[in-house]
Amino acid sequence: MTAKGHLVDAAVVGAGSWGTALAHLLHRNGHCVRLWSYEEDLARSIEELGENQSYLPGIAFPPEIRVSNQLDEVVSGAELIISVSPAQFVDRVMREAAPAVDPGALVVSASKGIEIPTLRRMDEVLEEIFSPHMAKRLVVLSGPSFASEVAGGQPTAIVAASESAEARLEVQRVFRSPTFRVYTNPDVVGVGLGGALKNVIALASGVCAGLDFGHNTQAALLTRGLAEITRLGVAMGAKTSTFYGLAGIGDLVLTCTGELSRNRMVGTRLGRGESLETILSEMTAVVEGVRTTFAAHELAKRFEVEMPIVSQVYAILKEGKAPLDAVGDLMLRDPRSESDSTV
C-alpha cells in the first residue's frame, strides 16, 4: 500500500477506549489521524475538553486528531481504516462507511467479539462488506492491550494477522513504535477467536474472584480455559500454535487477571451475587464477553466441541444459575485424562 517509512492517512472508526487509544498511538507515530464517534456529543466533548472523559479519562487527547460523528468524512480518502466499534455494531457501521472508503484502503479489524445471531467473527463481517480484493488484505489486530496503558505509552506487544503477507507487514510498520511491538501471523481465524473467547474465561475468572477463591482456582481456570478456546479454534480452522501466543494465552492472562478488565469486573460482581441486568445497567462501556458467551455456547454445539467452562458461564448469564453451583458442577464432572484433547 505504501512505501517504507511513508506516513499514512488513518481513520479510526469507533471512539471507545480502544479506538481512542489506537488514535493516540497512530498520532504519536506521526500519522494523520481522524476519529469517528457515533455520539455527536462525545465528539464535541473530546474536542472541547481535550480528553475522552467517557471512555479514556485522565489522558490528554491530541488536538491534531480530528474527531467527528460524520462517518463518510472520517473515512473518505483514508489509506488505513481501523474498525473498532463494539462487535454487535460493526456490520451496520462499516456498511454505512463502505461507500466512502477508498478501494485501495487497507482495512484493520480491532474489535474483539462474535456477532449474534450470525456467529460471524469480525473478519467475516468485514469480508462480506468489502470487495474481494480488499477482503483478501484484511488485517485482524489483537493481543494483550489495555487501552489506557497503550494510550499512556506503556510497552505493549500484539499481533497483526492477515492472509496477505504484504498487508500484515504494512500494519506492523504503521503501528510499531518504541512502546508498541507488533508481531505478524497468517492465522486470521485463530487471532480473531483468541481475542473474542478470552472474554468468556475472564467472566469466569471474575466469578472466582467474587467467590473469594484463590490462586489455585485461577491457575486451573486459565489452563482449562485455554484448552477450551484451543479446541474450538482448531475445530473452526485455526492453528493450535496461535493460542499459545499473544492473541491466545497472552490476552487470556491479561483479561483474566488485570484489574482494568471490564469482563473480569462483571464476573466478580456476579460472583458476589449481583444480577447481570443490574451490573450492565450501571456501565457505559460495552462488555463483549456477555454476547461472546452466548455465541461461544452456540459455536460449541455447531462444531460439537465440549466447552464446560463456557457452558457454566452461559448458565450463570442466561439461566441465572448460582455461581457456586456452577463451580461445583465443573469440579464434579466425570474424571478425565489431561491428555484427552476432547475435554
Would you please indicate which residues are annotated as catalytic (active-site) residues? Answer: 198
Strands 51-52 and 56-60: antiparallel
DSSP 193-236: HHHHHHHHHHHHHHHHHHTT--HHHHHHHHHHHHHHHHHHHHHT
Which residue, among 93, 83, 82, 97, has the nearest Cα to 38 in the 3D structure? 93
C-alpha span between 57 and 19 (Å, rounded): 14
Q: Find, among 59, 81, 84, the residue nearest to 72 by Cα.
A: 81
Which residues, at least 6 apart from 82, have a Cβ–Cβ distance to it below 8 Å?
10, 11, 12, 13, 14, 19, 22, 108, 110, 141
Show the cell assigned to 287: 462488555
Q: Of 241, 227, 145, give the one whose Cα is nearest residue 186.
A: 241
Give the Cβ contact number of residue 27 at 10 Å: 18
What secondary structure does DSSP assign to 147-164, as a single string? HHHHHTT--EEEEEE-S-
